[in-house]
Amino acid sequence: MSYDPENIFAKILRGDLPCHKVYEDDETFVFLDIMPRSDGHMLVIPKTPARNMLDASPAQLAACLATVQKMSHVALRAFDAQGITLQQFNEDAGGQEVYHLHFHVLPRYEGVSPRPPGQMADQDLLKTHADKMRAALDAG
Ligand code: AMP
C-alpha cells in the first residue's frame, strides 16, 4: 500500500482544490468535511504524506492528535457542543475512502444523533461554520 499524491486531500493541501479551512500550523491542516455528520464536523490531517494510521510516523500521529484536542475545545466553544466524537478509518475494509491520513472531529449535542453519511452540505452554511470556528479560535 503506497501513498497516492493525487488524492483529494493532497490536492487541497497544495491549493489545487478549494476547502473551508479552519486552522493550520507547521505540521497539520484542518478543514470542514463537505458531508458533515454534525454541525462543525472537521477533518484534521498532517501536511506531510501518510496514507493512513498504519503507515504514519509517531510524529505525524502526535501532531494530528494535538491538533484534534485543540480543535475539539474550539468546537465545544464555537458550537455550544456537549461532546466530541473522534473517528479515523484505515483501508477499504476499515471504511477509508480518501487515502491521506485524517481524523474526523464531530461536535456532538445531547440527544442528537449524527446525520447519515453522504449528505452534501450547503456551501454557504459551511462557510458560516468555518467563520464561527475561526472566530472562536481567535478569541482563545
Ligand atoms: P473516509 O476516508 O471514510 O474518512 O471518508 C472521507 C471523508 O472525506 C468523508 O467524510 C467525505 O465527506 C470527506 N470529503 C471528501 N471529499 C472532501 C472535500 N473535497 N472536502 C472536504 N471533505 C471531503
Nearest to 83 by CA among 106, 65, 108: 108
CB 44 within 8 A of CB 28: yes
Decide if 3 is inside a domain: no
Ligand 1 lined by 121 (C-beta under 6 Å): no
Decide if 2 is inside a domain: no
pTM higher than 0.85, yes or no? yes
Q: What is the pLDDT of residue 95?
A: 97
Decide if 77 is inside a domain: yes
Nearest residue (by CA) to ligand 1, atom 4, is 96
Ligand 1 lined by 135 (C-beta under 6 Å): no
CA distances in angstroms from 106 to 10, 21, 51, 95, listed in the order given: 22, 16, 21, 17
Residue with the three cell numbers 458560516: 128
pLDDT tens digits in sequence order for the chain, 140 residues long: 899 999 999 999 999 999 999 999 999 999 999 999 999 999 999 999 999 999 999 999 999 999 999 999 999 999 999 999 999 999 999 999 999 999 999 999 999 999 999 999 999 999 999 999 999 999 98
Measured in Å, residue 62 CA sits from the centre of ligand 1 at 22
Strands 28-32 and 42-46: antiparallel
Nearest to 101 by CA among 130, 59, 61, 42: 61
**Which CATH number characterizes residue 73's domain?**
3.30.428.10
Q: What is the pLDDT of residue 48?
A: 98
**DSSP assigned state of 116:** P
Q: What is the pLDDT of residue 46?
A: 98
Q: What is the pLDDT of residue 1?
A: 80
Identify the domain containing residue 22 by its residue range. 8-139
Decide if 121 is inside a domain: yes
In this structure, how many other beta carbons lie within 10 angstroms of the beta carbon of residue 114?
Answer: 14
Measured in Å, residue 58 CA sits from the centre of ligand 1 at 23
Count how many Cα atoms sit within 13 Å of the Cα of residue 112 in the half-sphere of its side chain. 15
Decide if 54 is inside a domain: yes
Q: What is the pLDDT of residue 21?
A: 98
Domain count, the chain: 1
Decide if 1 is inside a domain: no
